[in-house]
A and B are shown apart, each in its own frame.
Chain A
Amino acid sequence: MARKKASELSRPLDSRQEALAPTPRQLIPDGCNLSVVLRVLVGTHVLALLVALVSELGTGLEQGFRQFLLAGAVLEPVILLSLVAWCGLRRWLGNASAWRQRLAAWSVPALIAGLLVALFQREAGASAVFFLMAVAWVLAAALQHYFELRARVFSPSVLEARFQALQSRIRPHFFFNSLNAVLAVLRDDPRKAERMLENLAQLFRAVMGDVRKLVPLEQELDLCRKYVEIEQTRLGERLQVDWQVGATHPKLRVPQLVLQPIIENAVRYGAEKIAGTCQILVRVRQLGFTLEVHISNPIAADPIQREGNQIGLDNIRGRLALIYDLEARLVARVRADRFEVSLTLPVEHKQQTVR
């Protein structure tokens, strides 16, 4: 979905379609996208299990499950091959008319099913082959329709509204305390005051900018370091950050302000609530096609002060869902008196803005 959305939504819509709910241009589901693959596999298997259980109601559950497993042997190769075919067709038929795209999406799985059965189950009669093809055709049509509707739900105007709601905000407490800290150093160390104002300006530019913007990872990390510098002026020795940034693809892009709010959360519920030193750990590394980020902070022993840690994270989660669908993950948990946030993002190399 991510790639689909990114490419589709950046393309101008023609005026005729704009009047109604806009129809996405690419109607063949993206078989290469993990979220699509997962939805198709789960959807079809649940359906197959239900059908198997219902059809074997008389003979009992065990027979039903056996039937399901046997069906799986046919189902899975057909689905996997169809996904690969969808992935290719999508690129090939990208500019074809809407109905041609839909027909292709519905028919290809039927053809694959027919071909597989004809090749490997020669004893099956012609009627059985045609029946199977019809089932595959109907299922493919249903799935394609589902993904088309989904794409329409995530149309630019709807997306726009959702992103608007998830726009980051500057916490007033942080803002006024930072200004106060700038005022404190202004007379004795004007250069430091200048630097703090520059850092604040950069942070504000990001916060007031488009939350959908993808920026180089290095730029986001730089913003995080500037934010930490401001906070360190304010909190002094109490705030310490251990940066463990591994090698990543130089063109790797992440949504703007995806890491800074997590670190801000760590400062807010760690350093601001704990009287002693607060060590925040930031670990960033690339594993194959995913980017892994772990950020953890110690938490106050008092359960009342532990609450609230989650709220800021929901905003990031919402934005990730809109940009990456199921391909990104944000998990937060308490382990050994530390609050840990793990973020997994798919690696995007393309220069793109989700619009």
Chain B
Amino acid sequence: MIVPLEQGTPFAGKAPMGLNVLIVDDEPPARARMRQLLADCGAQLELNIAGEAESGPQAIAKVDELKPDVVLLDIHMPGMDGLEAARHIVRRERAPAIIFVTAYEEHALQAFEVQALDYLMKPVGADRLAGALSRLTRRSRSDSLVRIDEVARSLGTERTHITVPERGRMMLIALEDIVYLRAEMKYVTIRTASREYLTEESLTNFEAEFGKHFVRVHRNALVSRKSIAGFERIRGEPKQTGRLGEGHWQVLLKELPERLPVSRRQWSVVRAAVKGSNGG
């Protein structure tokens, strides 16, 4: 499980100040126990408890705020679980090392082994924790990213949030806040009720991962199923022949006054998808 240190950022270099550790667990006693254990490890290792978080989104915010070296991350948490939180954390610049902590995961651990990710089993022994922390290596960001994404894919878990970089910061957007996604030139615009974000991820990727939540209304647009308020038919422009053009449909949105065109090719698919999700 020991991976060569990435040049220039070994943890050994940090030794004088010690490792800054962020504890993430939704259960208060589990966090208390981890504090005790870290205190016990203090004899062997230079450690600081940077802070604690009790949920996935809070962990991500604390990583941005406290810039810890290591995150001890519980996997089983309500809402965003530890695995998803890790996927967002490793996308940060100078991402901390992650050690997963779990009481019992039937399928996940095998996947972790395969991808050589560090994990500890609760109840954790002080020796094991010290061992894991002293062996710690800062992997290259892209390496961790690939490994964690691979575990998530093999477990078939879906993200509940997406991470978008913005002016040097990473913004976390809840999937349920997204009204639509529209491809424009080389970027995709993510529209929520309050604002817009830009991302370089492709629309096809979004559709592949979140097909359950979005429906493709046009070659360049995905609309959240729950945001569709209805459809309106737009009459076509008069043509030179004097007859009216065929016209097209537009999606009316619940959260926003703007409308999105439905392509002729997608119309039947969209109608079926919306009917299906509303139960006819």
Contact = CB atoms under 8 A, between A and B. Distances in A.
A56 B251 CA distance: 60
B55 A176 contact: no
Contacts of A235: 27
A275 B32 CA distance: 19
A181 interface: yes
B103 A177 contact: yes
Contact of A180 (B55, B123, B158): B123
A126 B121 CA distance: 84
Interface string B25-53: 01111101100100000000000000000
Interface string A259-275: 00000000000001111
Interface string A170-199: 001101110111011101000000000000
Contact of A236 (B28, B76, B124, B160): B28
Contact of A181 (B26, B29, B78, B79): B29
A272 B122 contact: no
B206 interface: no
Interface string B208-232: 0000000000000000000000000
A233 interface: yes
Given A172-B103, A173-B103, A176-B122, A181 B30 contact: yes
B104 interface: yes
A236 B27 contact: yes
Contacts of A304: 158
A236 B29 CA distance: 9
Nearest to A302: B160
Interface of B: 26-30, 32-33, 36, 55, 76, 78-79, 103-104, 121-124, 158, 160
A235 to B, nearest CB: 6
A187 B36 contact: yes
B250 to A, nearest CB: 28
Contact of A177 (B28, B79, B122, B158): B122
Measured as residues with beta carbon below 8 angstroms from the partner, the interface class of chain A is 20 to 34
Contacts, number: 56
Given A180-B30, A235-B27, A275 B104 contact: no
A329 interface: no
A338 interface: no
Contact of B29 (A173, A176, A180, A300): A180
Contacts of B26: 275
Interface of A: 172-173, 175-177, 179-181, 183-185, 187, 233-236, 272-275, 300, 302, 304
A233 B123 CA distance: 16
A180 B32 CA distance: 10
B30 A272 contact: no
A54 B121 CA distance: 69
A229 to B, nearest CB: 13
Chain A to chain B: the 6 pairs with minimum beta-carbon distance, closest first: A184-B29, A184-B33, A176-B103, A181-B29, A172-B104, A180-B123
5 contacts: A176-B104, A177-B122, A234-B29, A272-B78, A275-B55
Nearest to A192: B29
Contacts of A275: 26, 55, 78-79
Contacts of B28: 236
Contacts of B158: 304
A119 B76 CA distance: 74
Most B CB within 10 A of own CB, among A181, A185, A187: A181
Nearest to A173: B104
Nearest to B122: A180
A234 B77 CA distance: 13
Contacts of A234: 27, 29-30
Contact of B76 (A173, A179, A185): A173
Contacts of B27: 177, 181, 234-236
Nearest to A278: B78
Contact of A184 (B36, B55, B79): B36
Contacts of A302: 160
Contacts of A177: 27, 30, 103, 122
A299 B27 CA distance: 19
Contacts of A172: 103-104
Contacts of A184: 29-30, 32-33, 36
A235 B31 CA distance: 11
A275 B80 CA distance: 9
A178 to B, nearest CB: 9
B156 to A, nearest CB: 10
A304 B124 CA distance: 30
A183 B104 contact: no
A175 B121 CA distance: 12
A242 to B, nearest CB: 20
A140 to B, nearest CB: 50
- B29, B55, B79, B123: which has the most chain A beta carbons within 10 Å? B29
